[in-house]
């Protein structure tokens, strides 16, 4: 499967002492992710990650994702500038290892043939951090209840009804 922002990492390549990675999406990758997530623009996407080997061949990942982007206001469609800053706590699982299901456990990311796609994992983390209903300051929903009542077929009937 091809993804917009791919950084494949074989778990076996993580040294015993751990490893620091900085991943940054390039312009074409950001443009593709902006289309995927229906953003006006994705101006930056970067993550600083620290990887350490864990039990049973898993790899612990801690770090932070940062992004600068523009979304359209859900009411006015005006561009809204946003900064995203998300802590990352993942566990990369070797093939065949069962994910944990505790609330306080890091997010488990399953691998294929012992290879994790950190870029796709970051893209998914970004998608979860996006505001699903962005709203520009001062934007409010129009009050359609009064408009609907005035233009309904029953409003016309009420005007025909004798007053008194």
pTM, entire model:
0.80
Element holding 85 (H helix, E strand): strand 79-93
Instruction: Report the pLDDT averaged over residues 24-44.
Output: 97
Q: What is the pLDDT of residue 85?
A: 97
Q: What is the pLDDT of residue 101?
A: 75
Q: For residue range 77-98, what is the model confidence (pLDDT) as tens digits?
A: 899 999 999 999 999 999 888 8
Residue 112 near residue 164, CB atoms below 8 Å: no
Check residue 55 and report its DSSP letter: G
């Amino acid at each position: 499967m091809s993804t917009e922002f791919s950084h494949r990492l074989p778990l076996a390549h993580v040294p015993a002492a751990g490893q620091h990675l900085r991943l940054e999406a390039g312009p074409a990758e950001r443009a593709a992710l902006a289309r995927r997530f229906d953003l006006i623009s994705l101006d930056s996407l970067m993550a600083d990650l620290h990887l350490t080997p864990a039990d049973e061949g898993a790899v612990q990942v801690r770090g932070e994702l940062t992004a600068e982007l523009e979304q359209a206001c859900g009411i006015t469609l005006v561009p809204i500038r946003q900064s995203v800053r998300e802590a990352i706590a993942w566990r990369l699982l070797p093939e065949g290892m069962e994910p944990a299901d505790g609330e306080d456990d890091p997010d488990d990311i399953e691998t294929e043939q012992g290879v994790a796609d950190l870029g796709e994992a970051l893209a998914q983390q970004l998608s979860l951090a996006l505001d699903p209903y962005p709203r520009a300051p001062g934007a409010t929903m129009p009050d359609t209840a009064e408009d609907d009542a005035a233009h309904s077929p029953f409003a016309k009937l009420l005007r025909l009804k004798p007053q008194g």
